[in-house]
Structure 1
Amino acid sequence: MERRQMLAALTALASSAWLGAARAQGASNVPLHVIVPFPPGGGTDVLGRAIGARLEKVLGRPVVVENKPGASGIVGAEYVANADRQGNTMLFSGLVPSVRYYSRPLSQLGSELAPVCMIARSPYLVAVNPGVPAANLRELVELAKRKPGSLSFGSPGNATPQHLATERFRSEAGIELLHVPYRGTGPMMTDLMGGQIQLVFATVAAAEQYVKSGRLRALAVTSAERLERLPDVPTAAEAGMPGFEAEIAFGTYVAAGTPAAAVGLLNRAVNQALTDADVRGKLVEQGFIPVGGTPEQLGKSLLAEVRAVSELVRSGKVRIDAP
């Protein structure tokens, strides 16, 4: 047998052995509850349901996806933080699982939730209602400067990644925008199409279908390069904001104090799910870039994100909701 074939066979054997062990350890009638801290229809919900369906097969146990929205994700995050510590409840959230992390000492980051695995990332589409008289990002900035505070932008909640990305854009462009927080992406997109707000930074998963149908206009994508799926949408740099890039990342968490063995099992299961061709296809189709990795890598990314953003919160420019 050639070396390449042997390695492939050993990899398949190891994967099969791990799957058997995972099922033996995790198999039971006790379901794994996947908690999505926002309403149905947003990017987090898409990820939770796509990956949750595969986890059921990987772990050999029922997986129940539950939406627990409220207070910019705080309600769902605290539900998981107070759940069992046996690996039966897992949070699917943005990289920062609770916006309260921004206002707390860095030493307390791991006191409520323990990182499991990074799952995906996505750039934003800067999308406007078609009634906004701006054909590109440069014209939007000029409009906002002519009429300070006349344009409103939506977010899934105060201090959510979409809110923070828009605040960065507002600050770098030197414009005034009115922030309208929602209880999730779905209601935000409904109001954008209805003209109650004019602008959002939304994941590709949340905005693409409306852009393609003409119900929204995409002014830019916040990645370094254009998206193959939307080749006519320029990057923010091409559209008049040189150097501006932003993305949202997503991770999974369990209650702090969950045994390392249970965390490790869930980490391997999520990584395994992310290698599945159907799962990867669904994520890529929705504009996500699958990631994966170790709990330690997710923890380092979380720490870096909180450090980068917490000053906005401490300065009062971004407010933290209470549940």
Structure 2
Amino acid sequence: MTFPLSGVRVQLSRRSTLIALLSATLAGGALSGALAHAAEDWPSKAIKVIVPYTPGGATDTVTRTVMDKLSTRLGQNIIIENKPGANSTLGAAQAAKADPDGYTFLAMLPAYVINTHLYKLAYSPSQLVPVVHMADLPLFLFVAKDLPVNSMKELVEYGRKNPDKLTYASSGTGSSAHLTGADFALQAKLKMTHVAYKGSAPILTDLLSGRVSMVFDPVLVPMQYVKQDKLKVVAFTGKKRWPDDPDVPTMEEVGFPGFVTGSWAGLLAPAGTPKPIIDRMAKEISEIVHEPDVTKKFTDAGFLPAGGTPAEFAELMRSDSERYAKIIKEAQITVN
């Protein structure tokens, strides 16, 4: 008698399993159908773009310039929400946990890939996916006026003769300026002290007064002081010389082959956001950044327009992650 009963249990168990699988399949199909329908009607309401930095910074400037144009193209309001804090991880965590319905995006700098090597995050990088690379932000190496150097050669010679006297500033541990400075110290075989600040303004104040030796920084503000003979500039991290300052040599030209780096601004979305929405965002933004008036705004502020596909942006993030991980390891960078 036990065998038939056992058989009944097996049959019931199999039947329950089949029902569960069928229910899951139907639910998954319903979800896929809902997302597909949402993508067809998108956008039907305002879109939110989280900027994990304070207003007026590089990411904020790029994002607002692009989203102003995109709002007109899409026929919907785009709301910029500044969510600074914890080296951009607060804003990233908020975006990672948002519904993947095409109405929340995250604007980000290289800190996004750097943070994975330095911090215990409140989100997983797999919760966000790349959308588009909006702009590049190459850096210049500015030095204090009173530092007795006028070229990269003189800077390296001075640093080797005066170990531990050189300091370099950045807007915080793990920022692209920090890791660029650390990479320079490694390649030049210099002992330099990193000084972390909480913003660009105090960096400039201390650089002008000579309390810090140098900084890798965008062109916009410091170059004004170079032209007033209050700062000096010795190199540029771009592949080619900056058009408005052609006398400044690239890092490669002054003896650092392959030293082409800088910051960038890109857009990400919660994982699961419908592909047609991501593809349309990438297409629209890639066209916007190359519109003449946008390109002029970018270059005036020290940016270079980028654009491209989600896959191309994903590759940039991957290669940067590998490069920064190597610098962090070799320079033994940690956070408290």
Normalised-by-shorter TM-score class: 0.7 to 0.9
Structure-2 residue corresponding to 1:51: 66
Structure-2 residue corresponding to 1:25: 42
Range with greater deviation from structure 2 (57-66 or 159-168): 57-66
Of 221, 224, 237, which residue of structure 1 is paired with 2:236? 221
State how far apart, in whole Å, the 1-side matches of 2:109 and 2:311 are. Answer: 16
Structure-2 residue corresponding to 1:143: 158
Structure-2 residue corresponding to 1:204: 219
Structure-1 residue corresponding to 2:142: 127
State how far apart, in whole Å, the 2-side matches of 1:190 and 1:68 are. Answer: 26
Q: Is the 8 A contact 2:113 2:317 kept in 1?
A: no
State how far apart, in whole Å, the 2-side matches of 1:196 and 1:238 are. Answer: 28
| Structure 2 residues not aligned, in runs of 5+ | 1-38
Q: Secondary structure at the match of 1:251?
A: strand
Q: Give the structure-1-normalised TM-score.
A: 0.80
Distance 1:99 1:178, change over 3 A: same
Q: Is the 8 A contact 2:138 2:238 kept in 1?
A: yes
Deviation string 1:129-187 (CA, Å, 9 cap, x unpaired) is: 22222211222222222222222211122222221111111001110111122334444
Q: Give the structure-2-normalised TM-score.
A: 0.78
The answer to which structure, 1 or 2, has the higher relative contact order (CA under 8 A, 6+ apart) is 1
Of 184, 187, 194, which residue of structure 2 is paired with 1:169? 184
Q: Secondary structure at the match of 2:112?
A: coil
Structure-1 residue corresponding to 2:197: 182
Deviation, 1:263, is 2.1
Range with greater deviation from structure 2 (183-192 or 244-253): 183-192
Q: Is the 8 A contact 2:147 2:213 kept in 1?
A: yes
Q: Secondary structure at the match of 2:334?
A: coil
* 1:1-323 correspondence runs (5 A): 25-28=42-45, 30=46, 32-95=47-110, 97-102=112-117, 110-241=125-256, 244-314=259-329, 317-320=332-335
State how far apart, in whole Å, the 2-side matches of 1:244 and 1:99 are. Answer: 18
Same amino acid, percent of matched pairs: 32
Partner amino acid, structure 2, of 1:157: G
Structure-2 residue corresponding to 1:6: none
Partner amino acid, structure 2, of 1:126: L
Deviation, 1:199, is 0.8
Q: Is the 8 A contact 1:226 1:233 kept in 2?
A: yes
Partner amino acid, structure 1, of 2:251: A
Distance 1:188 1:262, change over 3 A: farther
Q: Secondary structure at the match of 1:111?
A: helix
State how far apart, in whole Å, the 2-side matches of 1:237 and 1:139 are. Answer: 16
Q: Is the 8 A contact 1:49 1:65 kept in 2?
A: yes
Q: Is the 8 A contact 2:118 2:334 kept in 1?
A: no
State how far apart, in whole Å, the 2-side matches of 1:133 and 1:83 are. Answer: 52
Deviation, 1:127, is 0.5
Partner amino acid, structure 2, of 1:208: M
Q: Is the 8 A contact 1:69 1:184 kept in 2?
A: no
